[in-house]
Amino acid sequence: MDGFSSWFAYVGDHWSDVLTGTLEHARIVAIVVVTATVFSVILGILVERHPAARAASLSIAGIFLTIPSLAMFALFIPLVGIGNPPAEIALFLYAILPILRNTVTGLDSVSPAVVESAKGMGMGNTQQLLQIRLPLAWPIIMAGIRISTLITVGIAAIAVLVGGDGLGGFIQGGLTRLGLPNSYESVWVGTIFTVALGLVLDILLSLAQRLTTSRGLRI
């Protein structure tokens, strides 16, 4: 019980820092997810019907995810300096695979008969893509975006190590003075608000998914 009350006291004392940290964290996630979505969906559309390019891009995006995050974040410091940019680039690379994979899978899942009938009625390739294939793949693409968002929220806590913002600051601050007063509280603030941010974003995206998915596709 003592732990809880001291945690709440800590949050109360540092409320404005917590809020700032959460908003900074959310901002990084938003930038990363939006750019990764645009990039991955376009890439997915381009490679979907070309087996070699598709296999290559999926493998490369998969390799990004296996690079340890500590190293990945540091790798971009020589290129873009310290601060948020190296963190955002690293997170962007992590966020690609789920969206790319789901874009390709989503486009694959569109029934060939539907595409055939669209083509047979005189829809050009762009019309087929924008009016038929993307709307039908959309729920699956959205699922990929949600996974990427959750991954990004969690890993973004490491941004602090390369001089970035976000809730990672509370965790790192607590770890460096572990055992001292309020150190555990600080770690828990970073952790819990990160998790909470992830949950909130996921709920918002699931609402967005519902609103942007045709009633004809809902189960």
Give the binding site for other proteins (CB under 8 A): 111, 113-124, 127, 132, 135-136, 214-217
Shortest spacing between CB 116 and other proteins, in angstroms: 6
Q: Which is nearer to other proteins, 13 or 108 (CB)?
A: 108
Question: The tokens of 55 are what?
Answer: 């296999």
Concatenated DSSP letters of 3-52: HHHHHHHHHHHTHHHHHHHHHHHHHHHHHHHHHHHHHHHHHHHHHTT-HH
Shortest spacing between CB 113 and other proteins, in angstroms: 3
Shortest spacing between CB 118 and other proteins, in angstroms: 7
Q: Which is nearer to other proteins, 79 or 121 (CB)?
A: 121
Quote the CA–CA distance of 159 and 82 in Å, as a whole number: 10
Shortest spacing between CB 110 and other proteins, in angstroms: 9
Q: Which is nearer to other proteins, 95 or 110 (CB)?
A: 110
Q: Which is nearer to other proteins, 179 or 215 (CB)?
A: 215
Shortest spacing between CB 134 and other proteins, in angstroms: 10
Q: Which long-range contacts (CB under 8 A, 24 or more apart) does 178-183 make?
A: 182/6, 182/10
Run of H or E residues at 205: helix 183-212
Q: Which is nearer to other proteins, 134 or 205 (CB)?
A: 134
Q: Which is nearer to other proteins, 20 or 127 (CB)?
A: 127
Shortest spacing between CB 138 and other proteins, in angstroms: 8
Report yes or no: 91 and 32 within 8 Å, Cβ to Cβ.
Answer: yes
Q: Which is nearer to other proteins, 12 or 122 (CB)?
A: 122
Ramachandran angles phi, psi of 134, nearest 5°: -65, -45
For residue 160, with 0-12 CB atoms within 10 Å meaning exposed, 13-18 middle and 19 or more buried, which class applies? buried
Shortest spacing between CB 107 and other proteins, in angstroms: 14
Q: What share of the chain is helix, strand, coil (3-state, %, to 5)?
A: 85, 0, 15
Question: The tokens of 210 are what?
Answer: 């519902």
